Amino acid sequence: MSLPVTNLDDRKYQDLVDEAKRLIPTYCPEWTNHNLSDPGVALIELFAWMSEMMLYRLNQVPDVFYTRMLNLVGVNTFGATAATADLTFWLVPGQEEVVTLPIGIEVTTVTDDAPVIFTTTENLVVRPPVLTSAMTSTDNDRYTDVWAELSYERESLVCFPHLQPNDAFYLGFEDSLAGMAIRLDVRAVIEGIGVDPTNPPLEWEVWEGEAWAPCTVYRDTTGGLNRDGAVTLLVPRAHEPLTLSSTQAHWLRARLLRASPDQPEYRASPQVRTLAATALGGTVSAEHSQRVNRELLGISDASPDQQFAVRHAPVLHRHDDEHVVVVFDGVQHDWEEVTDFTHSRPQDPHYTWDSSSGEIRFGPHIRYPDGTSRQHGAVPPGTAEIFVTSYRHGGGAIGNVGSSTLASMRTTVPYVSRVENLESASGGVDPETVENAKLRGPYSLRSGQRAVTRDDYERLTIEADPAIARARCLPPVESGKPIRLLITPAVENIDEQTQLDAYALPVPMVDRVMQHLDERRILGAEVEIGTPYFQGVTVAVLMKALPGRPPTVVRSRVLEILYRYVNPITGGVDGNGWPYDTDLNSASLFQLLESVNGVERIDEVLFFEYDLRNGTRYGSGRELLKLGSDSLFMSASHQVVTR
């Protein structure tokens, strides 16, 4: 948002005097007498006094001038962020047909004044669950088919055969239950005595593709499968098929937990006679926003720098289907949103969209000091209609509503009886205030336009070209030598096939960086651009997979982690690239790899140095590799052996 229409310079008399004295050695090194009696110092104090008077008058300029100057240099306020929440929709009782909850359902808080509106961001299909199989297991190892016992009312099945932690009772369904709310109607034999019926030591889980994910128990009237009743579960929004003992299904399981000190244990396993599943509804994500579909902005007059505005602001971050289209001679053309027109060519269909104000601008025509002029971004032809396909507006801290407050539906959905948010909404942030932007602007300008410190060089280098992933500035090795700037270009699809040549610096990239820094570096500072020294590393791992987990799958997961972790761009603990001046030790990898799904234990980790150019490994295995200040680790030919 452009700042609406004030201390422009906060330096005082003594600040000006001190600053002038600090510059004496640079501009006049032979001047060594800086005492108050020196005539030159007297002149400095005189001009400092006069400058302070001018600054005082300048600071009386109205706020409108100050904020307009900030607008001209690109200091804009940050937009709002929308809060998000999970909404659970409950169907009318007895519904046995497939119910589709489309994206865009609006739900509001129950209040008399200014209700907060949330809109669903995904579709949900609620299908009647079809139960096809049942199993029991002991410690995720041995599986027993108990479908026959569950199918005949005359028999009962024992849910937890050995009554040991991780014993489980599995229910296989024909279709995915992802995001659904289901009810399990249970007829039980009162055998599972001893537990607290309000806090039994068991957990309901579904297979989400990589691991078992817990379900939310909305209500349980069975006392832990101990008596007749119903268990109402909210299934996570990921539920994938899994093959257990040659039977493929979408599995839901009740797993026996180790009882806590204040939690009684089962003295006998619960037994189930019959079990039936019913769909009660589903849960979808929603955000604090309202959606506007296809809005006409206006008609183009074919002039540069045209400006239009949507009817509702602030506008939230755009999705792929939310953009500007230009309709001319009956043909619709999609245009692309950009941050600014710096790199836009005259034929590029670009526009900018200010999230706070909702203002959309097309490319300007700019004249440069050498007399040339250039159009930055294409101009919509005359009489062309300017549309927005869609957009969402809203956001702010007001969207962080409490649990069970989103209960009123603005959009009518067949077969839905009610809606609620079981947890509070979160993530809503108000747009930046003008007062804060006024404080932030001067700091940004003072530090962002000069290359003085090491951080300045690194930040400006990354700004010079979006294809640069990382930059490292090293001071001169000795006086009179250039500053060393190490650039790591962005590389896509990083894996074991990535070669050293992928990190070579293109000549146009080097030229752009040099031009960007030449305009900002201190006079006399020299810069030398290159790449870090990439130290190849082969990691050898000896590990054991959990029983029942395919070793090849677990091995591929470990390899994926290794290539991502020991990497110049995606490596390190935070995933932002392997840190400079950080050695590689086996202790950190032990901890990282033991957390990989399917790994039981890591027995050994060794490192070997690898010649990336010749493709050969050299030296003996070590548990620690040191790294130079101008180097980064790079993965090569990792070896993982499973027992």
Banded pLDDT at 351 (limits 50, 70, 90): very high
| Residues 6 or more apart in contact with residue 57 via CB below 8 angstroms | none
Note whether 63 and 193 are same-domain residues: no
199 and 312 together in one domain: no
Residues 148 and 266 in one domain: yes
Task: Compute CA distances 564 → 523, 567, 575, 579, 633, whole Å.
Answer: 41, 6, 8, 13, 11
Assess whether 53 and 87 both reside in one domain. Answer: no
Residue 2 has pLDDT above 60, yes or no: no
User: Going by DSSP bridges, is the β-strand pair 533-545/631-635 parallel, antiparallel, or unpaired?
Assistant: parallel
pLDDT tens digits for range 100-120: 999 999 999 987 678 999 999
Residue 21 lies in a domain: yes
Residues 112 and 238 in one domain: yes
Radius of gyration of the chain (CA): 33
DSSP characters for 162-195? S--TT-EEEEEESS--TTEEEEEEEEEETT-TTS
The pLDDT value given to residue 447 = 54
Please give the Cα distance from 13 to 167 (Å, whole number): 79
Instruction: Say if 311 falls within a structural domain.
Output: yes
| CATH code of the domain containing 514 | 3.30.300
Check residue 498 and give its pLDDT.
67
Residue with tokens 């603005």: 410
Q: Based on the domain organization, do 423 and 346 belong to the same domain?
A: no
Whether pLDDT at 6 is above 60: no
Cα torsion through 499, 505, 507, 511, rounded to 10: 170
Q: What pLDDT score does 1 carry?
A: 47
Contacts of 350 (CB under 8 A, 6+ apart): 335, 336, 337, 338, 341, 344, 362, 363, 377, 378
Give the 3-state secondary structure of residue 41.
helix
**At 582, is the pLDDT very low, low, confident or very high (cuts 50, 70, 90)?**
confident
Number of domains making up the chain? 5
What integer pLDDT is reported at residue 397 of this predicted model? 84
Max mean pLDDT range (125-129, 156-160, 444-448):
125-129
**What are the backbone angles phi and psi of residue 556, rounded to the nearest 5°?**
-65, -35
Question: Are the C-beta atoms of residues 145 and 247 closer than 8 Å to each other?
Answer: yes
Nearest CA to 632 out of 571, 580, 589, 585 is that of 580
- Residues of the domain holding 459: 449-530
Q: State pLDDT tens for residues 220-266.
A: 999 888 889 999 999 999 999 999 988 999 999 999 998 888 888 88
Dihedral of CA 175/178/179/182: which sign?
A: positive
Q: Does residue 327 lie in a domain region? A: yes
Domain boundary at 369, 394, 419, which? 394
Q: How many residues does the chain have?
A: 643
* Residues 8/61, Cβ–Cβ less than 8 Å: yes
Tell me, yes or no, whether 222 and 170 share the same domain. Answer: yes
Instruction: Please state, rounded to an integer, the average pLDDT across all residues of the chain.
Output: 86
Q: Is residue 106 part of a domain?
A: yes
Contacts 24+ apart (CB under 8 A), 303-308: 303/379, 304/362, 304/363, 304/364, 304/365, 304/375, 304/379, 305/361, 305/362, 305/363, 305/364, 305/365, 306/361, 306/362, 306/379, 306/380, 307/359, 307/360, 307/361, 307/362, 308/359, 308/360, 308/361, 308/386
Whether 635 and 627 have beta carbons less than 8 Å apart is answered as no
Q: Does residue 587 share a domain with residue 620?
A: yes
What letter represents residue 239's amino acid?
H
Please report the sign of the dihedral spanned by the C-alpha atoms of residue 322, residue 326, residue 331, residue 334: negative
Whether residue 165 is predicted with pLDDT greater than 80 in this model: the reply is yes
Round to whole Å and give the CA distance between 308 and 351: 11
> In this structure, are residues 304 and 375 in contact, taking their beta carbons and an 8 Å threshold?
yes
Largest CA distance in the chain: 112
Query: In this predicted model, which residue has the larger pLDDT, 96 or 531?
Result: 531
Look up tokens 């989400």; give the residue: 208
Q: Give burial (CB, 10 Å; 0-12/13-18/19+) of 148.
A: exposed
- Across 348-415, the runs of DSSP E, i.e. the strands, are 350-353, 359-362, 365-367, 373-375, 385-394, 406-409
What is the sign of the dihedral through the CA atoms of 246, 252, 254 and 257?
positive
Same domain, 133 and 216: yes
Which position has the higher pLDDT, 66 or 133? 133
pLDDT digits (tens, 9 = 90+) for 250-260: 999 999 998 88
- Write down which residue in 530, 545, 580 finishes a domain: 530
> Are 349 and 272 within one domain?
no
- CA–chain centroid gap for 508, Å, is 31
Q: Is residue 437 part of a domain?
A: no
Tokens of 124: 């949900």
Residue 67 reports pLDDT greater than 70 = no
CA distance 97 to 472: 61
**CA gap 632, 583 in Å, rounded:** 10
Residue 62 confidence (pLDDT): 58
- Say if residue 29 is exposed, middle or buried (CB neighbours under 10 Å; 0-12, 13-18, 19+): exposed
**Residue 517 placed within a domain:** yes
pLDDT digits (tens, 9 = 90+) for 558-569: 998 999 899 888
How do 307-309 and 359-362 pair as beta strands? antiparallel
Query: What token pair was written down for 42?
Result: 């007297």
Domain membership of residue 2 (yes or no) is no
Task: Compute the distance between CA of residue 237 and CA of residue 212 in angstroms, rounded to an integer.
Answer: 12
- Mean pLDDT highest for which of 30-44, 315-329, 358-372? 315-329
Domain boundary among 72, 100, 120: 72
Residue 73 clears pLDDT 70, i.e. is over it: no
Q: Are both 192 and 237 inside the same structural domain?
A: yes
- Beta strands 631-635 and 331-334, pairing class: unpaired
The answer to the question of residue 225 being in a domain is yes
| Residue 416 to residue 100: CA distance in whole angstroms | 10
166-220 residue pLDDT tens: 999 999 999 999 999 999 999 988 765 678 888 899 999 999 988 899 999 999 9
Whole-angstrom distance, CA of residue 564 vs CA of residue 495: 8
* Confidence check: pLDDT of 5 > 60: no
d(CA 190, CA 156): 11
Helix/strand/coil percent split, the chain, to 5: 20, 35, 45
Q: With CA atoms as reference, report the closest residue to 484 among 626, 631, 630.
A: 630
* Residues 194 and 320 both lie in one domain: no
The answer to whether the beta carbons of residues 565 and 552 sit under 8 Å apart is no
pLDDT in tens, 429-440: 887 776 777 766
% residues pLDDT > 70 (the chain): 91
pLDDT tens profile 587-628: 888 888 988 888 988 899 999 998 888 888 888 888 888 888
